[in-house]
Amino acid sequence: MARGQGAALDRKKLLADPIMMTTIILMITFLTLFILYPLAILLVDSLYGSNGVSLETFRRIFAMRNFREAIGNTLKVGFVVGILSTLIGLLFAYVEVYVRMHRFVGGLFRLVSMLPVVSPPFVLSLSMIMLFGRSGLITRFLFGIQNNNVYGYWGIVTVQTLTFFPVCYMMLKGLLKNIDPSMEEASRDMGASRWKVFTTVTLPLLLPGLGNAFLVTFIESIADFANPMIIGGSYDTLATTIYLQITGAMDKEGAAAMAVVLLCITLAMFAVQKYYLERKTAATLTGKASRARMLIEDRSVSYPLTVLCSLVALFVIMMYICVPIGALFPAWGYKFTPLTFKWFEQVFTRYRGLQAFRDSFVLSLIASPITALLSMIISYLVVKRKFRAKGFIEAVSILAMAVPGTVLGVGYIRGFANGLFHTGILSGLYGTGLILIIVFVVRSLPTGTRSGISALRQIDRSIEESAYDMGANSLKVFTSVTLPLIKDSFLSGLVTAFVRSITAISAVILLVTPSYLLITVQINEFAEKGGFSIACAFASILILITYGSVLLMNLFIKFFGTSRNMREAARNE
């Protein structure tokens, strides 16, 4: 059947809409230039050398023993961290959704889910070394163990698990809440014990979700750069190997090929997660729970579970608290009294802290509104409009989620240091603050787009259609109807982008030039050199900034945000 006319008319209506056309073209250009192109150039560079197309570079890197080891290490760490995080996340989610908790425990849970969001990715490595390392507070001064070695495999696994399990916890919590309690009650009613209900009803329903959580953590672990860098010691993962290949061995072709390998691994994981597990999760758990769940009040169940979770939570919180406290001791591991502010002072007097904070702050401040706006526009296009390139825009912005920062960093070096395709075009970009801003934007774009898409899906299509029908053009519809309705989501996208940018390290560490000082890069340097007190001082101020901006956002939403009633009114019936 010929559908030509309808499609042609749709296209004509789109072409008659210059604002929409310009936006779409701009989006496609941005995504192609700053996400697709740097990744493509990696592949091209590693395949195409001075003597034509060959697998020479790949042969060379696979011949390196440390690279082969790094692949094994990365997968091993990722696998173990994935399993552990999923299990701890499941425990937390189960206790939160199923067990009647004391208010205090609820507060602990919230804090635990909040801390990794507002802190730079590597603070746990810092506190791990400070608490359990050679001169660790706990190992040496509590138990008298000298020379405890936290560096290496177990260090990375512990730190990454503690950093990533809150993500699993939040994901699984959402899923557990969607399980209709009447299914479990039916099973209970037919004589199943609580444990039996869990293993025969809850767990099978949750299985795809668990797989999903596992893979998400797996990808995060593989892509993590800062923790293996600080606590890995001689135990190298792919991300750190690539970094050392560039900064140490100055082998950019080799690093590009390694980046391709890393990218392939994460993309494969991501493909499974996105197209297989996520769909399955949605299929088994649809809709909302019809009724509130009867919480478990049986003390023989609730006490051990709550106590276990609280201990884990307290441990994690203690590790975070260790950072600001560490900055107050005169010399960590040697002299604990009197408490002093000298490290905080030195941040600004000796270590150019003011410049570092200003650079990080200003660059992130510029990047975050751009990110928030771009992700809203992309999600608007994806959810509300139909046009041919829509699939491309959606795919690329989601794909960016699976790209490790290190890979992106190498891609930018290869792609922009000598201009586009090494021709010198746009070469002025490299080494500027602008490219750092672009990296910040690209790194936060996927999360922003994802939350934007889910916010927009909640707005009934006919609300925008009616504005359109009344005579509003697409820009007017977006500014007068769509944007006011997703104001909250826009604001939180703004702050998330800011927090992510100011705490980012993996990509920018490869791109930053001496003219810019970034806090995270500074902290990383101090931590590597063993200057833990000064690193802690830097990190504490950073956490203060990020936590402050999140608080500010919540206040702002409370007073100026869309009211809850209104959001419900906008929802599909």
Partner 1 sequence: MSEYRKKEPKGVLLDHISKIYQDPKTGKDFFAVNDVTLEMKPGSFVTLLGPSGCGKTTTLRMIAGFESPDRGEIYLGGQPINQLPPNKRDTAMVFQSYALFPHYNVFDNVAYGLKLRKIPRAEIHERVTRILGLVELTGMETRMTNQLSGGQQQRVALARALVVEPGVLLFDEPLSNLDAKLRVQMRTEIRRIQQILGITAVYVTHDQSEAMSISDQIILMRQGVIAQMGTPMEIYYHPNSEFVADFIGECNFLRGVVRDVRGDQVMVEVNGHIVTAAYGKDVMAGDECEIVVRPEAISIAREGLLPCRVELSCFMGSYQNYHVRVGDTLVKIADNCPVNKEIFGEGSEAFISFDKNCAHLL
Question: Is 264 one of the binding residues for partner 1 (CB under 8 A)?
Answer: no
Question: Is 7 one of the binding residues for partner 1 (CB under 8 A)?
Answer: yes
Token pair 């003219």 is found at: 515
Question: Is 475 one of the binding residues for partner 1 (CB under 8 A)?
Answer: no
Closer to partner 1 by Cβ: residue 3 or 65? 3
Closer to partner 1 by Cβ: residue 5 or 146? 5
Minimum distance from residue 392 beta carbon to partner 1 (Å): 20
Question: Is 19 one of the binding residues for partner 1 (CB under 8 A)?
Answer: no
Question: Is 52 one of the binding residues for partner 1 (CB under 8 A)?
Answer: no
Q: Which of 471, 514, 515, 559 binds partner 1 (CB under 8 A)?
A: 471
Question: Is 567 one of the binding residues for partner 1 (CB under 8 A)?
Answer: yes
Helix, strand, coil shares of the chain, percent, nearest 5, are 75, 0, 20
Question: Is 279 one of the binding residues for partner 1 (CB under 8 A)?
Answer: no
How far apart CA 571 and CA 573 sit, in angstroms, is 6
- Count CB-CB contacts under 10 A for residue 292: 7
Question: Is 568 one of the binding residues for partner 1 (CB under 8 A)?
Answer: yes
Closer to partner 1 by Cβ: residue 314 or 472? 472
Q: Which of 28, 71, 111, 463 binds partner 1 (CB under 8 A)?
A: 463
Query: Angle CA(62)–CA(63)–CA(68) in degrees, nearest 5?
Result: 50
How far apart CA 367 and CA 438 sit, in angstroms, is 7
- Total residues binding partner 1 (CB under 8 A): 40
What is the DSSP annotation of 230-298?
HH-TT---HHHHHHHHHHTS--HHHHHHHHHHHHHHHHHHHHHIIIIIHHHHHHHS-S--SSPPPPB--
- Residues 476-515 touching partner 1, rule: CB under 8 A, are 476, 480-481, 484-485
Cα-to-chain-centroid distance, residue 452: 15
Closer to partner 1 by Cβ: residue 17 or 180? 17
290: Cα within 13 Å, side-chain hemisphere:
6
Question: Is 562 one of the binding residues for partner 1 (CB under 8 A)?
Answer: yes
- 3-state DSSP assignment of residue 506: coil
Closer to partner 1 by Cβ: residue 465 or 528? 465
Minimum distance from residue 562 beta carbon to partner 1 (Å): 7
How far apart CA 539 and CA 219 sit, in angstroms, is 25
How far apart CA 342 and CA 504 sit, in angstroms, is 27
Closer to partner 1 by Cβ: residue 12 or 299? 12
Amino acid at 303: Y
Q: Using omega within 30 degrees of 0 as the cis cutoff, is the peptide bond preceding 338 cis?
A: yes
Strand partners, 52: 49
Q: Which of 395, 470, 493, 526 binds partner 1 (CB under 8 A)?
A: 470
Of 348, 349, 371, which Cα lies nearest the Cα of 358? 348
Closer to partner 1 by Cβ: residue 32 or 572? 572
- Residues 146-165 touching partner 1, rule: CB under 8 A, are none
The conformational region for residue 394 under phi > 0 = left, psi -120 to 50 = alpha, else beta, is alpha
Tell me which stretch binds partner 1 (CB under 8 A): 4-12, 356-364, 434-442, 491-499. Answer: 4-12
Question: Is 5 one of the binding residues for partner 1 (CB under 8 A)?
Answer: yes
Q: Which of 298, 345, 465, 528 binds partner 1 (CB under 8 A)?
A: 465
Would you give the DSSP letter of residue 561?
S
Cα–Cα separations (whole angstroms), residue 161 to 168, 234, 278, 451: 10, 20, 22, 24
How far apart CA 178 and CA 284 sit, in angstroms, is 10
Q: Which of 32, 466, 479, 513 binds partner 1 (CB under 8 A)?
A: 466
Q: Which of 216, 282, 468, 507 binds partner 1 (CB under 8 A)?
A: 468
Tell me which stretch binds partner 1 (CB under 8 A): 131-139, 428-436, 438-446, 470-478. Answer: 470-478
Closer to partner 1 by Cβ: residue 4 or 338? 4
Question: Is 472 one of the binding residues for partner 1 (CB under 8 A)?
Answer: yes
Minimum distance from residue 467 beta carbon to partner 1 (Å): 7
- Count CB-CB contacts under 10 A for residue 216: 23
The interface mask with partner 1, positions 423-462, x = CB under 8 A, is -------------------------------------x-x
- The answer to whether the CB of 460 falls within 8 A of the CB of 386 is no
Minimum distance from residue 567 beta carbon to partner 1 (Å): 8
| Interface residue list for partner 1 (CB under 8 A) | 1-10, 12-13, 16-17, 460, 462-463, 465-473, 476, 480-481, 484-485, 562, 565-570, 572-573
